[in-house]
Amino acid sequence: MEKKIACITGATSGIGWSTAIHLAKAGFAIIACGRRIERLEELAKVLPPETPYKYLSFDVRDQAAVNQAFESLPMEWQEIEVLINNAGNAHGLDTIDQGDVEDWDSMMDINVKGLLYVSRKVIPGMVDRKSGQVINIGSIAGKEVYPKGNVYCASKYAVDALTKSMRVDLNPYGIKVMGVHPGAVETEFSLVRFKGDSDRASGVYNGFDPLTADDVAEIIAFAVTRPRHVVMADVLLLPLAQASATVFNRNQT
């Protein structure tokens, strides 16, 4: 492959979708991952036409499926230079005494274990080649807790800890490890958190301009195109109206 390869999980929607487009525009070949195959096929149509493109459909919770997907890549697609660990969601918003255990399992399995399964398949190649970049998408929820955020926050604190640990473990190999931690971004995120309740989901962004997926993708594209010696290690990205995990100026618009 002439172009460097970027692999993006959670590329069927939101931040992952926009990141695939921005990295393709920056000259990368794209491997897009997600469960919804029709979206992965749709993505091919909106990338710059010269973009080499492959998609892998799997559930990040299924370690065997993750392994099989990456092992299915043809030789010319195996040298992944950039890994964007983005797949993830919140499921539910309840106090700790009332949380749904299935929601808890989903968040830990997807946001933490899924990230690990994908990383375990992709990072050894980077170590062998002594080259690569990993960006983990955390959240402001991995920097501060908020009421009813409990398990989602825990999953994102884990992403932050793993990001820092990866940076340490991979330091001898010249692999860049970065954490991008957004505040409120309007994507399908809240629709998933509130299980399809669109009124409740859109209410999250009432009265202010949230970040867009493109806003986050632009930062990711900037981070991965820095000179070799520069690492944007940790970025907290907020909309103007958001001052912390809980403080919003909802009279902004």
Pick the closer one to ligand 8X3 by CB: 5 or 211.
Answer: 211
Rounded-to-integer distance, Cα 81 and Cα 244, Å: 33
The binder of ligand 8X3 chosen from 140, 162, 178, 219 (CB under 6 A): 140
Rounded-to-integer distance, Cα 162 and Cα 192, Å: 24
Applying CB under 6 A, does 139 fall inside the site for ligand 8X3? yes
Pick the closer one to ligand 8X3 by CB: 139 or 163.
Answer: 139
Return all residues near 107 (Cβ < 8 A) that are at least 6 apart.
Answer: 88, 89, 90, 91, 151, 152, 155
Q: Are 130 and 229 a contacting pair, CB within 8 Å?
A: no
Q: Which stretch binds ligand 8X3 (CB under 6 A): 39-47, 137-145, 159-167, 221-229?
A: 137-145
The reply to whether 195 belongs to the active site is no
From the list ligand 8X3, ligand NDP, none, which binds 89 (C-beta under 5 to 8 Å, kind-based)? Answer: ligand NDP
The binder of ligand 8X3 chosen from 141, 180, 216, 217 (CB under 6 A): 141
Nearest residue to ligand NDP by CB is 14
Task: Work out how close the CB of 197 gets to ligand 8X3 at its nearest, in angstroms, rounded to a whole number.
Answer: 15
The reply to whether 152 belongs to the active site is yes
Applying CB under 6 A, does 154 fall inside the site for ligand 8X3? no
DSSP string, 63-113: HHHHHHHHHTS-GGG--EEEEEE----------TTT--HHHHHHHIIIIII
Rounded-to-integer distance, Cα 78 and Cα 165, Å: 24
DSSP summary character for residue 240: T
Rounded-to-integer distance, Cα 200 and Cα 210, Å: 15
- Contacts (CB under 6 A) with ligand 8X3, residues 233-252: 245
Task: Work out how close the CB of 209 gets to ligand NDP at its nearest, in angstroms, rounded to a whole number.
Answer: 13
Bridge partners for 54 per DSSP: 31
Active site residues: 152, 156
- Name the site residues for ligand 8X3 (rule: CB under 6 A): 139-141, 149, 184, 245
